[in-house]
A and B are shown apart, each in its own frame.
Chain A
């Protein structure tokens, strides 16, 4: 699915959180969004998903303007895992993942065997099937995160939007998630804080002050100049002798008080 966005912007209380962002997503690519705190990553992800009111600019899905599409049609194409979605309800893990089928079911159509299969697959993908009967309050932060991702997978979208999906996850589940994402045959846009993880994306976009200041292949974009300019850190680039992949080792800049 091709997503084109032009002139995306959003203001909160008169302050521009995101402004003038253009973006073309190539079908099937994994696009990483990086940038310091408050640079507008989460807001941009919501704009792409069409979830913010009074947005500036325009998003097209396969040539159709997003704002002309019913929410249900959008939800069949785009799934979002946000950072702060939580509940006080005592849902089970399976209940939460089943919510992903919402855009595909009418008010009274019962859950079919196919729907059940999709939910099972989604639970397997995040290694949560054995906890399917657990209640939400008993889950750890990382488990909740994985359930949210399973819910998004059960939506069977063509564009998966993840806001810092590796947050809360232990190292095993971080790597498992990245491998899962790399293996999905859908377009993925995700905000990431770990720049080494961003290196695994097909392309990265760098947000700073609400604007996208750079966009391209990770090795081209993530330079020491960018790191000191945007992230206010220095870095040495190391090469892993096992597979020649690039690694960053960060340090504070000398002149940074």
Chain B
């Protein structure tokens, strides 16, 4: 009994610490930008907005803090958490260390759709924000079904191979369509391929944050089930895990998270691949610890990547996907090498 109380207290302490780290990262995301805004101004705007205090601040600065940087940072955090959780869950479910959200073809499917819209002008104006996002979810799911059909009834690893092939195929689509684009169109396409947070506003927050929180909850509820997958699906079943149902729920959650985030900010690479591995190294492989750690690290990582993307070259925003790739590509290489050493 005392052991349980102590572990609850430890859990509360760790959760509080994690939230504090997240808050600090969000504050950093608001304070640091192309134009330096003092922390005092940020705090003032937050207190005005949250507690209705009076302010003498310049309305433009106040607007930048409240309407640009705060939503942008919150969406970056949601996106980082959602993408790294997606990667983690897929790696655990298919028992493939190299699985990432792109495995589902969600991101690639979404990118293809976006690029087609950009160049071919397919109903560009008609497709509203949310509907567009839903379409992409649908595209992602049907890609997965197609991949599943191709993968047939073979094992998880082969299925993963199938998905990866589909994803690669769609990347090829993107490249094919992109070839017929001019320079200005190409810049629009870059948005989808490398990610862009500059257009993020409050309505995006109201979509991204609930999806990330729901996805996090769905993953955390299945923490024990995910542990049970470490020795394969048959082992999980013999441990009492309703394998089919858990796979369906989790892949649904992961697809939704990845598709929504891609529809909001484009396909940001490497987050889902590298963050879960780094966290396994730090907190171990048990999902009850790994899931919160991965979500937190993903959120902080993407906020940091967004900050770096705005600071790397003065007066110019480097696509955030370039920053994540700078960190992610070496990380990916390390994972590959470690994996080969183990196999």
A and B co-occur in one complex? yes
Q: Are B230 and A51 in contact (CB under 8 A)?
A: no
Q: Are B286 and A85 in contact (CB under 8 A)?
A: no
Q: Are A85 and B241 in contact (CB under 8 A)?
A: no
Neighbouring B residues of A70 by C-beta, 8 Å: 240, 242
* CB nearest neighbor in A for B232: A85
Complex CA–CA separation, A46 to B343 (angstroms):
27
The digit string for B273-294, where 1 denotes a CB below 8 A from any CB of A, is 0000000100011100000000
- Which of A78, A79, A103, A110 contacts B8 (CB under 8 A)? A110
Is the CB of A171 closer than 8 A to any CB of chain B?
no
Q: Are B239 and A155 in contact (CB under 8 A)?
A: yes
Task: Tell which of A60-68, A89-97, A225-233 binds the partner.
Answer: A89-97
Is the CB of B108 closer than 8 A to any CB of chain A?
no
Within 8 A of B (CB), among A72-131: 72-76, 78-80, 82, 85-92, 95-96, 99-100, 102-103, 105, 107-108, 110-113
Q: Are B95 and A88 in contact (CB under 8 A)?
A: yes
The digit string for B249-272, where 1 denotes a CB below 8 A from any CB of A, is 000000000000000000000000
Q: Are A51 and B238 in contact (CB under 8 A)?
A: yes
Complex CA–CA separation, A110 to B239 (angstroms):
17
Neighbouring A residues of B227 by C-beta, 8 Å: 95, 99, 102
Q: Are A76 and B240 in contact (CB under 8 A)?
A: yes
Known: A82-B235, A85-B235. A71 touches B224 (CB 8 A): no
Q: Are B238 and A100 in contact (CB under 8 A)?
A: no
The digit string for B331-343, where 1 denotes a CB below 8 A from any CB of A, is 0000000010011
Known: A88-B95, A105-B224. A82 touches B3 (CB 8 A): no
Complex CA–CA separation, A105 to B241 (angstroms):
11
Is the CB of A49 closer than 8 A to any CB of chain B?
yes
- Which of A51, A95, A111 contacts B234 (CB under 8 A)? A51
Known: A87-B231, A90-B285. A107 touches B240 (CB 8 A): no
* CB nearest neighbor in A for B343: A88
Complex CA–CA separation, A80 to B238 (angstroms):
6
* CB nearest neighbor in A for B239: A102
Neighbouring A residues of B326 by C-beta, 8 Å: none
Neighbouring B residues of A78 by C-beta, 8 Å: 238
Neighbouring A residues of B122 by C-beta, 8 Å: none
Is the CB of B4 closer than 8 A to any CB of chain A?
yes
Neighbouring A residues of B4 by C-beta, 8 Å: 110, 112-113
Within 8 A of A (CB), among B212-236: 220-225, 227-228, 230-232, 234-235
* CB nearest neighbor in A for B227: A99
Known: A88-B342, A91-B285, A137-B342. A71 touches B230 (CB 8 A): no
Known: A91-B285, A99-B227, A155-B239. A110 touches B221 (CB 8 A): no
Q: How far is the CB of B171 from chain A (nearest CB, A)?
A: 27
Complex CA–CA separation, A124 to B8 (angstroms):
28
Complex CA–CA separation, A110 to B11 (angstroms):
11
Q: Are B230 and A87 in contact (CB under 8 A)?
A: yes
Is the CB of B207 closer than 8 A to any CB of chain A?
no
Neighbouring B residues of A155 by C-beta, 8 Å: 239
Neighbouring A residues of B237 by C-beta, 8 Å: 51, 71
- Which of B7, B221, B234, B242 contacts A107 (CB under 8 A)? B221
Q: Are A82 and B7 in contact (CB under 8 A)?
A: no
Q: Are B224 and A74 in contact (CB under 8 A)?
A: no
Neighbouring A residues of B231 by C-beta, 8 Å: 85-87, 96, 99
Q: Are B342 and A71 in contact (CB under 8 A)?
A: no
Complex CA–CA separation, A92 to B285 (angstroms):
9
Complex CA–CA separation, A105 to B221 (angstroms):
12
Q: Are B241 and A102 in contact (CB under 8 A)?
A: yes
Complex CA–CA separation, A110 to B10 (angstroms):
12
Is the CB of B168 closer than 8 A to any CB of chain A?
no
Within 8 A of B (CB), among A202-253: none
Q: Are A90 and B280 in contact (CB under 8 A)?
A: yes
The digit string for B310-338, where 1 denotes a CB below 8 A from any CB of A, is 00000000000000000000000000000
Q: Are A95 and B242 in contact (CB under 8 A)?
A: no
Is the CB of B28 closer than 8 A to any CB of chain A?
no
Neighbouring B residues of A113 by C-beta, 8 Å: 1, 3-4
Complex CA–CA separation, A96 to B239 (angstroms):
12
Neighbouring A residues of B241 by C-beta, 8 Å: 71-72, 75, 102
Q: Are A107 and B342 in contact (CB under 8 A)?
A: no
Q: Are B239 and A103 in contact (CB under 8 A)?
A: yes
Complex CA–CA separation, A75 to B236 (angstroms):
10
Q: How far is the CB of A97 from chain B (nearest CB, A)?
A: 12
Is the CB of B97 closer than 8 A to any CB of chain A?
yes
Q: Are A79 and B230 in contact (CB under 8 A)?
A: no
Complex CA–CA separation, A87 to B224 (angstroms):
16
Complex CA–CA separation, A90 to B97 (angstroms):
12
Interface pairs A-B: 8 shortest CB-CB: A75-B240, A103-B240, A72-B240, A102-B239, A85-B231, A80-B238, A89-B285, A89-B230
Residues in chain B within 8 A of chain A (CB atoms):
1, 3-4, 7-8, 95, 97, 220-225, 227-228, 230-232, 234-235, 237-243, 280, 284-286, 339, 342-343
- Can you identify 9 A-B contacts, CB atoms within 8 angstroms? A71-B243, A74-B240, A85-B232, A85-B235, A86-B231, A87-B230, A96-B230, A96-B231, A103-B240
Beyond known contacts A102-B228, A111-B7, A113-B4: 14 more, CB 8 A cutoff: A51-B237, A71-B237, A71-B243, A72-B242, A76-B240, A85-B231, A86-B232, A89-B285, A91-B230, A95-B227, A99-B227, A102-B224, A103-B239, A112-B4
